[in-house]
Amino acid sequence: MSRELATYVLRRFAQLLLIVFIAVSVNFLIPRLLPGDPVETAIARLQAGGGQQSVDVQAVAKVYREKYGLDQPLGAQYLNYWRDLFHLELGVSFANFPEKVSTKLANALPWSVGLLSLATLIAFSAGSLLGALLAWPGAGHAIRAIVPALMVLASIPFYLLAIIIIYVFAVVLKVLPPAGGFDTTRIARLDLGTVLDVVKHAVLPLCAIVLGNVGFWALGMRSQMVSVLGEDYITFAEAKGLGPWRIFFRYGMRNAMLSQVTALALAMGAVLSGAVLVEVVFNYPGLGTLLYVAIRGQDYFVIQGVVLLLIVTLAILLFIIDLLYPLLDPRIRR
């Protein structure tokens, strides 16, 4: 038992390392594999598109050349790349030269992680419960009317949903702020007012991600639950004379959740991609917006840094989900 568990954890950890390895290698290789000298291309782009900020192009070019080290053999470049990573040396931002990329990432990360995990948690639990109820014969008829709505929600990309939500709630109804993570005119202080302000700004982006996800989880759970309810152990539980809610939660949902959690691990990548765009639409101060601004400003090291961080964050989230799975399933087999 414990040995199987150890094998399982080790395997999952290897998967985590593999994802990080792929992410780093892709980041390293793609600029070098694509035609043209990446440094020249980047500088040319910077000069062409960098009208809005005054950049010391020479300084930037110097940093670029050092960072890339194109005169060295590829293997050495690759090793250097890894060494820099271990020192969290991700380069500097051009848009805010010479601010370090790692500082920018550190500022943005909490916003993204907070928004994403809260939204996923809400959407996943609410969706799963809703889906289980949809499959439950004793749950009344009215609830089934929402299935078409769930189908529509599940199919629309949630950054489009975000646009609609902003228009309705911030532009037409004007009940909540349309953009940002906090009121920039406030003095940063940890008090109730600040907290409320942050919460107020988070409501709409949160809603966009939750609404965009809840249908997916509900429909997935419904079909899982339908198949679980057909299992023999449900019939036997009924034959034992158990009450309906006991059967619903301990025998039905408890088992249907196993595949829901597996699905969660598989869907996190898509959820994260969608959340990045929601941040952009709301100009939310997280990684998504940082990425967007960096792309617009051709701030290449920032782009790389965000991409790397997104992948690693996700890999760690998945690893956590994987570690939780054996708690749910005593068989630890997948």
Partner 1 sequence: MSEGEANGAGAPILVVEDLRVAYDTLAGPAMAVDGVSFSLKAGERLGLIGESGSGKTTMAMALLRLIRAPGRIVKGRVLLDGRDILTMSVGELREARLRDIALVPQGAMSSLNPVMLLEEQIADGILAHAPRTPRAELARRIEALLRGVGLDPSVARKYPHQLSGGMKQRAVMAIATSMRPRVIVADEPTSALDVVVQRQVMQTLGRLQGGLGAAVVLIGHDMGLIAQFADVVGVMYAGKLVELAPVEEIIAAPRHPYTRLLIDSLPSIAAKKRLIGIPGLPPRLVDLPPGCSFAARCPYAFARCRTETPSLQSTGGNRSAACHLYPEAQALPPLGAASGEARP
Partner 2 sequence: MSGGLKGLRMKLAERRIGGVLILGLAILALIVLFSLVGPLFVDAHNAHVGAMTPRRPPSFDHWLGSDSQGRDMLTLLVYGTPNTLKMGLIAGIIGVGLGLVFGLVGGSLGGAIDTVIRVVADALLTVPAIAILVIIAGNLDRMSTNIMALVVASLSWMFTTRTIRAQVLSVRERAYIEVARANGESEWEILFREIMPNLMPFAVASFVGTVGSAILAVISLEALGLGALEETTLGNTIYWSQQSAAILRGYWWWWGPPIVVIALIFLGLFLTSVGFDRFANPRLANRA
Q: How far apart are CA 71 and CA 57, in angstroms?
A: 20
Residue with Cβ nearer partner 1 (37 or 238):
238
Q: What are phi and psi of 173, to 5 degrees?
A: -85, -25
The residue among 3, 2, 5 whose CA lies nearest residue 334 is 5
- The DSSP secondary-structure symbol of 168 reads I
Q: Considering the rule CB under 8 A, would residue 82 count as an interface residue with partner 1?
A: no
Q: Considering the rule CB under 8 A, would residue 80 count as an interface residue with partner 2?
A: no
Q: How far apart are CA 109 and CA 296, in angstroms?
A: 20
Give residue 135's Cα distance to chain centre. Answer: 29
**Rounded to 5 degrees, what angle do the CA atoms 322, 327, 331 make?**
90
Selected binder of partner 1 within 87, 141, 189, 331 (CB under 8 A): 331
Q: How far apart are CA 9 and CA 308, in angstroms?
A: 23
Residue 272 interacting partner from partner 2, partner 1, none (CB closer than 5 to 8 Å by kind): partner 2
Which residues inside 217-236 make contact with partner 1, applying CB under 8 A?
231-233, 235-236
Residue 38 interacting partner from partner 2, partner 1, none (CB closer than 5 to 8 Å by kind): partner 2
Q: How far apart are CA 17 and CA 10, in angstroms?
A: 10
Residue with Cβ nearer partner 2 (203 or 307):
307
Selected binder of partner 1 within 93, 128, 224, 255 (CB under 8 A): 255
Q: How far apart are CA 281 and CA 174, in angstroms?
A: 17
Residue 269 interacting partner from partner 1, partner 2, none (CB closer than 5 to 8 Å by kind): partner 2
Q: Considering the rule CB under 8 A, would residue 243 count as an interface residue with partner 1?
A: yes
Q: What are phi and psi of 249, to 5 degrees?
A: -85, -55
Selected binder of partner 1 within 62, 254, 296, 334 (CB under 8 A): 254
**CB neighbours of residue 10 within 10 Å:** 10
Q: Considering the rule CB under 8 A, would residue 115 count as an interface residue with partner 2?
A: no
Contact 221, 248 (CB under 8 A): no
Measured from the CB of residue 125, what is the shortest distance to partner 2 in angstroms? 22
Contact 321, 314 (CB under 8 A): no
User: From residue 189 to residue 228, what is the string marking binding to partner 2 with x (rule CB under 8 A)?
Assistant: ---------------------------------xx--xx-
**Rounded to 5 degrees, what angle do the CA atoms 281, 289, 272 make?**
80
Which residues inside 139-168 make contact with partner 1, applying CB under 8 A?
none
Selected binder of partner 2 within 69, 110, 157, 193 (CB under 8 A): 157
Q: How far apart are CA 332 and CA 314, in angstroms?
A: 22
Query: CB within 8 A of 223, min separation 6: which ones?
Result: 135
Q: How far apart are CA 165 and CA 124, in angstroms?
A: 20
| Amino acid (1-letter code) at residue 172 | V
User: From residue 284 to residue 313, what is the string marking binding to partner 2 with x (rule CB under 8 A)?
Assistant: -------xx--xx---x--xx-xx--xx--
Measured from the CB of residue 138, what is the shortest distance to partner 1 in angstroms? 10
> What is the contact surface with partner 1 in residues (CB under 8 A)?
231-233, 235-243, 246, 250-251, 254-255, 258, 328-331
> What is the contact surface with partner 2 in residues (CB under 8 A)?
15, 18-19, 22-23, 26-27, 30-31, 34-36, 38, 41, 137-138, 141, 144, 151-152, 154-157, 159-160, 163-164, 166-167, 170-172, 178-179, 222-223, 226-227, 230, 238, 244, 265-266, 268-270, 272-274, 276-277, 280-281, 291-292, 295-296, 300, 303-304, 306-307, 310-311, 314-315, 318
